[in-house]
Structures are given as structure tokens and as C-alpha cells.
Amino acid sequence: MSLRICVGGATGWTGKALVAGIAEAKDLSLSGAVARKAVGQDAGSVSGIGHLGVAVSASVADALGSEPTDVYIDYTHPSAVKANTLQALERGVPVVVGTSGLSAADYEEIARLAEKQGLGVVASGNFSITASLMTRFSLLAAQHVPDYEIIDYAKSTKPDVPSGTARELAERMGAIQKSVPGYPIDSVIGPKESRGADVGGGRVHAVRLPSYVLAVETIFGKDGERLSIRHDAGSSAGPYVAGTLLAARRVVAMKGLVRGLDNLLFGPVP
Ligand SMILES: NC(=O)C1=CN([C@@H]2O[C@H](COP(=O)(O)OP(=O)(O)OC[C@H]3O[C@@H](n4cnc5c(N)ncnc54)[C@H](O)[C@@H]3O)[C@@H](O)[C@H]2O)C=CC1
Ligand SMILES: O=C(O)C1=N[C@H](C(=O)O)C[C@H](O)C1
């Protein structure tokens, strides 16, 4: 039997690509679709891949209440993802979280419910394989070079800051090695905000301009040398499909929360 997947945000940029990826995969099937628009319409037709026989629902509760589902995947909006995730877990469905905007405290709450329910959650600020390499390389570098800062570039209309990619990276790098400014930020002469934000111990500077999709760069500094590790997302949502569906296949056998696709691809950070 195929793994039955419900996609939250099925009519969006990423959601449409996922619906197409699920329809193509022999071991997966679409059991539900959630969006704010196109409610009642066929999810396959909305995605431009032809009729799939799955109507778009207005809420996660409606979608999971009407069809048996093995995994819920969320690519909705930072304002909706937490409630959707908790709702799916309450209903006994493991979750893959792609949507950005959740804080470390939000993830603690999600992890607690996942443990209580005996269910898995995989969340990744970025489900692209090459972005996961950037994350893993940066985490390895942070073990050796204590001075680093993170630049987070995204489109001017992105509602959340830092991006999911940069936020997760900052928190994980901060846990390895807190980014300690060489000159105390409280004492700087000028607007302190110019020095960015402490996000879980990692220092992040966010740039929001037209033409970017999402790019994250970690810069490591040492006396007389510098290392930059950077990932640039392009204009297609294709790169997120394989990683998200890998997480969906794996999450059904997991218990509790795992953050970072790199953990699934390469194992725990040594
Ligand atoms: N982790 C990763 O690899 C990636 C993460 N993202 C993140 O995923 C999220 C979605 O991104 P896009 O696909 O570009 O967005 P989008 O705006 O193109 O699509 C959003 C979808 O969610 C639905 N939606 C919005 N609010 C909702 C609500 N309250 N309840 C139910 N459905 C709702 C919309 O109807 C639409 O179907 C963003 O937070 C983005 O940063 C995007 C791409 C990759
Ligand atoms: O909003 C986007 O577009 C993206 N957001 C993700 C994030 O917040 O990190 C990453 C993805 O590359 C695109």
C-alpha cells in the first residue's frame, strides 16, 4: 500500500511542486490537500498536472478528518504552521514541517506533543540537498572556527525573519559555538541593530530585497583569512521536493522531533 500524504499549502509555490512529486512517485499517494484558496477544487488540476480526485480542504482538521492519512506535510504560512502541526499530531498523524517562522520555543512545544503521542516530526529550514550541504559544512566549520556571522538574503516580501534556513542554522551553530562579538555590542557607538540579532547564539543579519529567493551565507573569520560557505536558491521549488518526500518516508518510523534534513542525509553531526 502507498504512503498516504496530505499537503498543507497545496496550491502554493512549494505545495504544487510537492503534489506533482507525490503523483509521480509509485510508493506515495495524495490523501488530502489544504489551502486558503481553491477550496473544493481538485488539487491535481490546480497544480496543473491533471485530475487526481482529491479536493482542496479549507483546514487540516477537514482534510485529516475526511481521509485516512499517514503523513501531513506543511508548506503554508508562518502564522499557520504551528497550529497545523499540533492539529495533525493530536489526530495521530506524523508531520513534516517545511514552513518557516517557528521559534526554538515553538519547536520545544511541538517536540513535547510528538513525544507524548509517540509520533515523529521532521522539520527543516531547507529541504534542498545542496542547502543541507551548506548547513552541514557550516556546522563542521563552527567546531573549528569560533568567530562567525550569518547573512540571510530573501525576497523583499518574505513575512518572517530570519528565514527558516538561517534561523535553524543560527540555533544549531550557536549550540556548537556561540558567536561572540569581538567588541561588546552594548558598547558600540551607533545603532546596535546594525550588528544583527542573536538567534540562539548565532549572529544573523537579514537582507530583504527584490530578486532574491533565498540565500544564506556563513562567514568565518580568523586573523589573516576568511571562509565563506553560501547557498543560493533559484526560482524553482523543484529542489525541495526530493528532501521533503524523503522526510515523509522516514518520519513514519520515528518518534519525537528531528530538525535539519542533513541529519537524515548524513547522520548526526560528529
Ligand atoms: N523548508 C524548505 O525547504 C522551504 C520552506 N519554504 C517555506 O514554506 C512556506 C510556504 O512557502 P511558499 O510555497 O513559497 O508559499 P506560497 O504563498 O506560495 O503558498 C502558501 C500556501 O499555503 C496556503 N496557506 C496560506 N495560509 C494558510 C493558512 N492559514 N491555512 C491553510 N493554508 C494556508 C496558501 O493557500 C498556499 O496554498 C514559507 O514559510 C517558506 O519560507 C518554502 C520553500 C522551501
Ligand atoms: O520563502 C521562501 O521562498 C523560502 N523559504 C525558506 C526559508 O525560509 O528558509 C527556504 C527556501 O529556500 C525558500
Please write the tens of the pLDDT for every residue from 91-126.
Answer: 999 999 999 999 999 999 999 999 999 999 999 999
Q: Given a cut of 90, is residue 81 above it in pLDDT?
A: yes
Q: Given a cut of 90, is residue 130 above it in pLDDT?
A: yes
The preferred substitution site among 16, 77, 156 for testing ligand 1, maximizing ligand atoms within 8 Å of CB, is 77
Q: Given a cut of 90, is residue 235 above it in pLDDT?
A: yes
CATH number where 45 lies:
3.40.50.720
Judge contact between 131 and 152, C-beta under 8 A: no
> Residues 50, 34: one domain?
yes
Domain that holds residue 14: 3-123+237-266
Ligand 1, CB cutoff 6 Å, lining residues: 8-15, 34-37, 75-78, 80, 98-101, 124-127, 164, 240
Average pLDDT, the chain: 97
Beta partners for residue 131, in sequence order: none
> Residues 108, 12: one domain?
yes
Ligand nearest to the CA of 15: 1
SS3 state of residue 102 = coil
Question: What distance in angstroms lies between residue 186's CA and the mean position of ligand 1's atoms?
Answer: 37
pLDDT tens digits, 133-168? 999 999 999 999 999 999 999 999 999 999 999 999
Its ipTM equals 0.98
Q: Given a cut of 90, is residue 32 above it in pLDDT?
A: yes
What's the number of domains the chain is made of? 2
> Residues 26, 79: one domain?
yes
**Sign of the torsion angle spanned by Cα atoms 245, 248, 251, 253:** negative
Judge contact between 23 and 16, C-beta under 8 A: no
What pLDDT shows up at residue 73? Answer: 99
**Sign of the torsion angle spanned by Cα atoms 18, 244, 161, 102:** positive
**Sign of the torsion angle spanned by Cα atoms 159, 160, 163, 164:** negative
| DSSP for residue 254 | -
Which atom number of ligand 1 is nearest to the Cα of residue 125?
Answer: 1
> Residues 119, 133: one domain?
no
Region 217-241: mean pLDDT is 97
Q: Given a cut of 90, is residue 224 above it in pLDDT?
A: yes
pTM: 0.98
Instruction: Report the 3 state secondary structure along 171-212.
Output: HHHHHHCCCCCCCCHHHCCCCHHHHCEEECCEEEEEEECCCC
Question: What distance in angstroms lies between residue 1's CA and the mean position of ligand 2's atoms?
Answer: 32
Give alpha helix (H) positions in 35-103: 43-47, 60-66, 81-90
Cβ neighbours around 212 below 10 Å, total: 16
What pLDDT shows up at residue 1? Answer: 86
